[in-house]
Amino acid sequence: MNVEEIVGRAVSALRDGEQRLRRALEAAPAIVSGRAHEALAKAVGLELGRPLEACAIERFPDGETTVRVDEHMRGRDVFVVQPTAAPVGENILELALVADALHRVGAARVTALVPYFGFARQERRVHPGEPLGARVAADLVGCGRFARIVTVDLHAPAVEGFFGVPVEHLSAVPLLAEAVRQHLRRDTVVVSPDLGGAKLARAYAHELGRPVAIVHKTRLGGRHVEALDVTGEVKGRSCVIVDDMIATGGTIEAAVAALRERGAGDDVTVVATHAVLASNALEVLSRARITRLVTTDTLPAREGGAFERVHVPVAPLLADAVRRLAADRPAAELAAAAR
Ligand code: R5P
């Protein structure tokens, strides 16, 4: 073989390698972030060994949002990370705009990662004259023509039915239960702060091997909650109160007061997937004298409060879902992960 042939072979081997690398990169899932929670999108990317893809989002002086995604998203399997953090309406619209931009540059498939879907609490009308908020919000997300939605611990699992596309409903309960385990005492009881949360409390109790107590609450308004009674043995016991989310903190404050009235111990751990922590929720929880708050990072962090904070990252859970969905692995594997 002469020198020219050797050089020719080396060059074509390099070209083959370059093409294989390009194909591998194009086959890998692309992670795009809206502005609701870029830190989480980066964490998901880090788990997958992927940088965030370029996506410029700006607000025009007239208040309209404009989006520009990378043209190289053509043919890609794209995952858009955007929980419905405040400002909720704006973030939902932004999610639909990013999806539309991705469709228009020819992305092969677009999946929404909405780890917190906030309108889930409006899954039914409480009073005549109210809208079915969860349905409206699901329709707005649906404008993005996503292939599917991935979410974590919906307030009401039935909300899945409001979306016109498949929903992968993941659960952070095993991760949170694991984080709580080290704080358990021999007498710890798992408490649901309301009747609606009894099933969730049973799931935690099962993970932790503890009994369950239930606080019976009534909601008097957006911020005002009254605890009426407690079912189960709490006297002298440390309590782990579990909920899907904490918004104003009113539910937890009322539950803690009811537990203390019935002689519960001082050690109170509060566990929730979604730390909405709206307005003065951290003050409310401090006033309730809880010992610690254990939450995930489905929403941007709101620090503060006169109690211990434990943060449980959800990026590994989301990244795992992305891996399986990108590889078109059976939904059963995702469902198993959610249990
Ligand atoms: C209600 O059913 C939910 O599970 C939560 O308990 C509730 O939404 C928490 O809201 P807040 O913190 O405002 O009481």
Distance in angstroms (rounded) separating the CA atoms of residues 100 and 95: 9
Q: Minimal CA–CA distance to 295: which of 280, 306, 308? A: 308
Q: What is the pLDDT of residue 18?
A: 72
Handedness of CA 110, 114, 115, 121 (dihedral sign): negative
Contact between 162 and 138 (Cβ < 8 Å): yes
What is the DSSP pairing of strand 212-219 with strand 225-231?
antiparallel
Residue given tokens 């949170």 in the structure block: 176
Q: What is the pLDDT of residue 10?
A: 83
What is the number of the ligand 1 atom nearest to the C-alpha of 219?
A: 14
- The DSSP line for 275-330 is E---TTHHHHHHHTT-SEEEEESSS------SSEEEEE--HHHHHHHHHHHHTT--
- CA–centroid distance, 193 to ligand 1, in Å, is 9
What is the DSSP pairing of strand 55-59 with strand 65-69?
antiparallel
Q: Minimal CA–CA distance to 89: which of 119, 59, 67? A: 119
Pocket lining: 34 vs ligand 1, CB cutoff 6 Å: no
Distance in angstroms (rounded) separating the CA atoms of residues 120 and 273: 14
Residue given tokens 């107590």 in the structure block: 213
Mean pLDDT within 294-300 = 98
Q: Mutate which of 246, 271, 277 to test ligand 1's pocket (most atoms within 8 Å of Cβ)?
A: 246
Q: What share of the chain is helix, strand, coil (3-state, %, to 5)?
A: 40, 25, 35
Mean pLDDT within 199-227 = 88
What is the number of the ligand 1 atom nearest to the C-alpha of 250?
A: 14
Q: What is the pLDDT of residue 214?
A: 97
What is the number of the ligand 1 atom nearest to the C-alpha of 249?
A: 12
pTM of the model as a whole: 0.90
For residue range 17-74, what is the model confidence (pLDDT) as tens digits? 777 666 655 679 999 999 999 999 999 999 999 999 999 999 999 999 999 999 999 9
What is the number of the ligand 1 atom nearest to the C-alpha of 276?
A: 12
Pocket lining: 302 vs ligand 1, CB cutoff 6 Å: no
For residue range 75-111, what is the model confidence (pLDDT) as tens digits? 999 999 999 999 999 999 999 999 999 999 999 999 9
Task: Quote the mean pLDDT of the chain.
Answer: 93
Q: Is 144 helix (H, G, I), strand (E, B) or coil?
A: coil
Contact between 230 and 216 (Cβ < 8 Å): yes
Q: Which residues are tagged catalytic?
A: 217
Rounded alpha-carbon distances, angstroms, from residue 117 to 17, 52, 153, 166, 170: 43, 22, 9, 15, 12
For residue range 225-249, what is the model confidence (pLDDT) as tens digits? 777 799 999 999 999 999 999 999 9
- CA–centroid distance, 241 to ligand 1, in Å, is 12
- CA–centroid distance, 177 to ligand 1, in Å, is 19
Pocket lining: 244 vs ligand 1, CB cutoff 6 Å: yes
Pocket lining: 141 vs ligand 1, CB cutoff 6 Å: no
Contact between 194 and 215 (Cβ < 8 Å): yes
Pocket lining: 243 vs ligand 1, CB cutoff 6 Å: yes
Pocket lining: 121 vs ligand 1, CB cutoff 6 Å: yes
The tokens describing 310, both together, are 């434990």
The tokens describing 242, both together, are 């579990």
